[in-house]
Every structure is written in structure tokens, then in C-alpha cells.
Amino acid sequence: MKKNGFLLMGILFICGSTQAQDFNGIQELTAEQNENNIVLKWNYPAESALNQEAMLTWSNGEDFTEMAYTGERDYVAHRYDSLDLMHFDGWIIRQISMIPIVAENTYTVDVWMKNGESYEMVCSQEVQNMVCGEWNQVDLEEGVVIDSSKEYLIGYSSVGEGYYTLAADLEETVPNKNMIMENGEWFVAPMSLHNWMIRATVTAPVNCPFNRDATTLKGYNIFREGELVTNIPYAFQTYYIDESNNGNFSVEYCVTAVYEGGESEATCVSVSPLGLLENDKTDLLTVSPNPASGIVRIEGATVAEVQVCNTLGQLLKSAQNTNEISVSELPQGIYMLRITDENGTVAARRIVVR
């Protein structure tokens, strides 16, 4: 990642002879707090808008293993929520691909849409001329128009005599995206490795602009405070949820676009302390002394809990139902007090320990 004159190298698709400025970076990076998580969202690089056709999948790679289950019928699917589909409103699911394993079984490809708290099937079509152990592509007789405000499950079912076997990749499981139906209810598949081998091809509406230069965009690298925290290997996934930052401190996030031949310059955003109510009540809350080396006293509120966090947002210590807390055992540095009053109002105050 090239930023401010120095280079932080990513872990994928980096070539020593490639200049970062040869690749367009992402656009419109924003950050917001969702409960206790930081959510980053962005738009595609200027010259890498979505093609007229795109692939949705959480499986990564061609190698797969076989996972055996008992039963007569099973549904499995990839889950796509409104974040995953935010660029696909009005697009049409045209084709679903999967890898059947058991020649004696009957397979259908299926699309489910969430309505309220349950899912309803909106498309089901039998796999014809099936070839086991290979990708089978099923062109849907009637495409499914995507409503990006909804949640979808895209997958298939296997019907057989007493058992079924499912194909899954050899990669780390994408959290909360691989679903399985048990007793008529959908659940997140209980696995830490593997993703179902499922792909969906979606096409743009006739009036949707597109750019065929998108084929080299492979994904994104996410940096927090200059350190690479993850690689997203899906070009369509233009968001990242950081569950390790509770919003207590200002943190800089940077995102680079990863191409087949290199990596773009970083686009960055700073996240200020979040989850805090800026009103007269919290403005009157004070902590003293500051700097401190022993007991810190909180005035202006009846404290239900006070937490002491470091600059990474990690909780170091806490105390309940007291307006005092000791920092004598902490090394010199900058810390944040996260203070919750008796009404549940949360405020943060920065302190220096010396």
C-alpha cells in the first residue's frame, strides 16, 4: 500500500516492478458504527465499474472436498444480505452453478428471498443432464430480479435415498454466509473450514452502464493503522465489518483495490470515537486529575460502569457502580475512559497516565 511516500506491502498480487499509481483506487470510502462494530463501505474504482455480467459466490478456488450427511433431502445455499447486494439492485439472477456428487440423487437449483423472519422460495429448477464432480451450469427459465433491500439465499437441493454428499472448497469459511436447512429451518452451516461450491451469474438491466475493464479487479486489502487486517477476494464485496474495534479511539482505515497485476494507492478514512452521545449531559462530565498516576475521579454523572481501554480499543480494566478508578498500574501513555451512567448514556474521555 503506497501512502504518504512510504510503501506497505500487501500479501496478495504484489509485483516488485509494479507501480501503485498504475491502478485506480476505490471511491467514496465511508465509515460508520453499527452496534459495537465499525462498518466500512466504498464504491468501485473509477475504471472498474461492474461489468454487464457479474458472479456472486463465497467459494474461492476450483479444488473441493466432499462432505457427507444422512437424510433424504437437503438444501444448502450462500447467503447475500443488503450489504452484499447494494450494487445489484434490479440486476437479474440468470444462472446458478453447483457441483453434484451423487449420481443417483436428484438436484435442483433454488433461490430463496427473506420475508420478515422467514425465507420463501422464489425459484426452483431441476438440474438436467447432470455431470458429477464438475461444475453444472443451470440457466434459469425465469430470472430472479434482485431487490437489494432484501436478503437472498442462492443454492441447491439434493434428494436421495438416505444420504447426500455436498461439495465444498478448501478455504476458510466466510462467516455467516454458508447456510443449510434442517427440519425446515435455515441455519448457518456449522463449519470453520469450507464454503459450498455454488456460483450465481447476475446480469445488469438493459439501461445499466458498465465497463468491461472490470475483469482484472480481484478484490481489496483492508488496513487499520497501517497494518493489513484482511484481504477480501471478491470484487463485488465493497464493505468490511471490523468487529475488533469498539469505537473508543480515533482509528485510520485504508482500503486498496487489488488487481491481477498489483495494488492501487490507499484511500483512507479516520473514525472518531463512536457510540457517544454529544449532549449537555455528557459535556458536563469531567474526569480528574488528568494527567493522572493514581485514582481518577468522574464528576457530573452517577456511574454504572467505567472501562479503561488502550489505543487499540482493547479493554484493560473496568469497575461498576463507582465514580473512581485507579490507573496506577498502567504504563505511561494515552488511554480512554468509556463511561456508562445509570441511564445507559455512554461517554468517553481521554486521559494521560504518567
Q: List pLDDT tens digits, range 246-290.
A: 554 567 889 999 988 788 889 988 776 544 333 334 567 889 999
CATH number for the domain running over 2-49+211-271: 2.60.40.10
Q: Do 222 and 230 touch, CB atoms closer than 8 A?
A: yes
pLDDT at 114: 94
Class of domain 53-203: mainly beta
Give pTM, 2 decimals: 0.61
The superfamily in CATH containing domain 280-353 is Macroglobulin (MG2) domain (2.60.40.1930)
Classify 341 as helix, strand or coil.
Answer: strand
Lowest mean pLDDT: which of 174-178, 183-187, 289-293?
183-187
Domain ranges of the chain: 2-49+211-271, 53-203, 280-353
Sheet holding 152-159, edge to edge: 118-126, 106-115, 152-159, 73-80, 178-182, 185-188
pLDDT at 184: 84
Inter-CA distances, 311 with 32, 138, 273, 314, 330, Å: 19, 51, 11, 7, 13
Q: List pLDDT tens digits, range 76-93.
A: 999 999 999 988 888 999
**Domain 2-49+211-271 matches domain 53-203 at the CATH topology level:** no
Mean per-residue pLDDT for 157-186? 84
Lowest mean pLDDT: which of 26-30, 63-67, 125-129, 277-281?
277-281
Q: List pLDDT tens digits, range 15-45.
A: 233 333 468 888 889 887 766 678 899 988 8
Instruction: Tell me how crowded residue 220 is: count the other CB atoms within 10 A of its CB.
Output: 27
pLDDT at 226: 83
